[in-house]
Structure 1
Amino acid sequence: MDTIKSMFGSLMDEEPVPPLHVGEVMSLWMLLTIYEEGQIVYKVALNTTTDPELRHAIEEAFKQSMEDVKMIKDFMIKEGVPLPSVAQGKPDSKSDDIPQGVKFTDEELANLIIGKVAACIALCGQAVSQCLRTDVALILLSSMGNLLKYSAPYRSMMRKRGWIKTPPYFYPPGGRST
């Protein structure tokens, strides 16, 4: 509670807000780049999958990503940070129009997306630990919370379908090995 009180207190006090440091700028810039490139991946996935549950998960990711992109962009513009350039978006297409050997399978799409989500969660955690400005930390924590909220049911869906990639189990020497 003291930490939360201190964080919100630093937002309310009269101290001048220092400029962003290079680490804060880099983290925000990288996160924005990953989110905007991720929107292209979501669009490709929506053009590819016909699975209703996966489609719903992708649509939710796309929608949440748009909200986080807006939050980060608005902040960066306000702070005078140049925005990253992003590749052109993808047009709508039908899954049946994509040849089988070219399009991703639903399992490949799910693992590609959850991998991007995991990378963003790690980036947010690392970036928060380097923040000196509370406002930047709160943006990153908010984004991280959205990613965690989104990833929980996603992993459940993947586990249910046998799509989740699990590393080998570790048993210490002399321990159980089944």
Structure 2
Amino acid sequence: MHDVSSSKPKSEPNAVPLGVKLTDDENANGLTFNLVTCYQLFAKRQADAVRNDAGKIWIEFFLEWAMFGGTLKTLMRKRGWLKVPPYYYPPGFPNKQKTNS
């Protein structure tokens, strides 16, 4: 049987090479991805709830996480971690970008 309460070995976080560590930007975007996944789960569970009290609990979860998401979005904007994706132009749509001619 494995002892789960044993102490963890000493580690040196600065000894990890920079290419292996996740940046703050990557951590924040990963957290945001998980947050959106939870939003979808909460909405699905709320819609599937047969009992009103259970549905209310899922709505409360959703609202708590939505407030956290708003705080996270503000922090990501402030730190420059929130990036605007490139515009999507469907096939056959005239490209509105300026050309250097």
So what's the TM-score if we normalise by structure 1? 0.41
- What is the CA-CA distance between 1:177 and the residue it aligns to? 7.0
Indicate how the Cα distance of structure 1 residues 111 and 144 shifts in structure 2: closer, same or farther if over 3 A, else same. same
Structure 2 residue aligned with 1:41: none
User: How many equivalent pairs are there?
Assistant: 88
Residue type at the aligned position of 1:127: R
Paired-residue identity, %: 30
**Pair 156,95 (structure 1): closer, same or farther in 2 beyond 3 Å:** farther
Report the TM-score when normalising by structure 2.
Answer: 0.66
Please name the residue that 2:40 is paired with: 122
Out of 140, 146, 151, the position equivalent to 2:64 is: 146
Q: Deviations over 1:75-112 (max 9, x none)?
A: xxxxxxxxxxxxx9xx6966424321211011000000
The match for 2:55 is 137
Higher relative contact order (CA 8 A, sep 6+): 1
1:6-155 to 2 correspondence within 5 Å? 95-155=13-73
Displacement of 1:166 in angstroms is 2.9
Which residue is equivalent to 1:166?
A: 84
1:14-45 CA-to-partner distances (Å, cap 9, x unmatched) read: xxxxxxxxxxxxxxxxxxxxxxxxxxxxxxxx
Give the match for residue 156 of structure 1.
74
Extract unaligned runs of 5+ from structure 1: 1-87
Please provide the CA RMSD for this pair: 3.0
d(CA) in 1 for partners of 2:76 and 2:51?
37
Structure with bigger gyration radius:
2
